[in-house]
Amino acid sequence: MMKKALFVLGFSILVLHSYSQDQPVLLKDSTFIEAEEDAELFEEVSELNPQRAALLSAILPGLGQVYNKQYWKVPIVLGGVATFAHFISYNNKVYHGLRNAAILQSKNLPNPYQSIISSESSLVRNRDTFRRNRDLLIIIGSAFYLLQIVDAHVSAHLDEFKVNDRLALGIEPSIQSTPLFSQAVGVSFVLKF
């Protein structure tokens, strides 16, 4: 049994190796032609450098998207960065105010939040909440910053790929028969290529 398996494996490798010596086939105008010795191989090189797009996006958020000529993404990136910066700053400011108020409250001195929050435990609980929110926003904002760098890099890579016009995803109504001799009405997704 082992000898037969080794023979089949060896024969398969020999057959595959013998077919690998054929001339390459090129795709030209949706028809296959045999390659000639002087024919040039199809190669489309993108004008965009993915590393440059990522570097520009890391230096200034949104600049990599401008380099990729995806101008519609710039307001999204800048709006996201500005939103995270605003809320991080706000939570940090309130956290420091509550921290100072808790210190003053522990020394039995008047604090600016005394009319709103009377107990020291409430001050500490609110202080911890704003600190946790600030830290969470820093983590999410950093992930957003890295995501826009990755977006610029991947978009520059995908610039050289052309999408076939015949490739489409369609949504069509469908009627399916069920095992109980009835019909079910639904929606089907059809991939056309």
User: Could you report how far apart the first and last alpha carbons of the chain are, in Å?
Assistant: 44
What rounded mean pLDDT belongs to the chain? 81
Q: Binning pLDDT at 50, 70 and 90, where does residue 183 land?
A: confident
User: Which of these ranges, 50-59, 94-103, 163-172, has the smallest mean pLDDT?
Assistant: 163-172
Mean pLDDT of 163-172: 77
**DSSP one-letter string for 106-161:** HTT---TTTTT--SHHHHHHHHHHHHHHHHHHHHHHHHHHHHHHHHHHHHHHGGGP
Q: Binning pLDDT at 50, 70 and 90, where does residue 58 land?
A: very high
Model confidence, pTM: 0.62
User: Which of these ranges, 44-48, 64-68, 114-118, 152-156, has the smallest mean pLDDT?
Assistant: 44-48
pLDDT higher than 90, residue 162: no
